[in-house]
Amino acid sequence: MRPNLYPEFGSTHRLQNRDPEVVEANHLIDNFLRFVRDNEVCNDLIDEIELPVSKLVLVKAFHIAIASERRPQIRALLVKAGVSLCQYRPELGNRIRIIPVTPHGRPAPRQSRTHERRLEQALLATADERIRLGDLYQRACIESYH
């Protein structure tokens, strides 16, 4: 059983798009998306200290926005963007660039064992958190239907 890293954020099923809490959540999300675009994040792993606001605040903002959104296409985009928060890792240090190449692309450079372990641990933690965030946002979707 995975530990729940994210507290319950309370009921959001009655929130409307004009509620101050939803307006603030959308503002935070807009700032986050600008940050992602301006910093060319792509698939890289980045220390969460780089985020414009705390990661937990952004997770909650996405939860609120997803729960209050009635358009399925927009909700799906919010979930996708919200799940990308898993790329921001606590105490990661230097950015880890993830650059996909074809199987016939350039050979992988030799890495130290320490670097390989750091990358492996970061990737495993990222995958685990992606699942937890997906579950959290799925619950927000379900809650919004009621």
- The pLDDT value recorded for residue 113 is 77
Domain boundaries, the chain: 20-99+111-145
pLDDT, averaged across the chain:
84
- Whether 16 shows a pLDDT value over 70: the answer reads no
- The pLDDT value recorded for residue 65 is 93
- The pLDDT value recorded for residue 99 is 77
> Residue 44: in which H helix or E strand, if any?
none
Confidence of residue 116 (pLDDT cuts 50, 70, 90): confident
Confidence of residue 102 (pLDDT cuts 50, 70, 90): low
- The pLDDT value recorded for residue 1 is 43
- Whether 18 shows a pLDDT value over 80: the answer reads no
Question: What is the three-class DSSP state of 88?
Answer: strand
- The pLDDT value recorded for residue 119 is 85
Phi, psi of 16 (to 5 degrees): -115, 160
Alpha-carbon distance of 71 to 66, in angstroms, equals: 10
Tokens for 134, please give them. Answer: 């997906």
Give CA 129 to chain center in angstroms: 9
- Whether 75 shows a pLDDT value over 50: the answer reads yes
- The pLDDT value recorded for residue 53 is 95
Check residues 51 and 97 and name the one with the higher pLDDT.
Answer: 51
- Whether 6 shows a pLDDT value over 70: the answer reads no
- The pLDDT value recorded for residue 49 is 95
Going by the DSSP 8-state scheme, the letter that residue 49 receives in this structure is: G
When pLDDT is averaged across residues 37-62 and rounded to a whole number, the result is 93
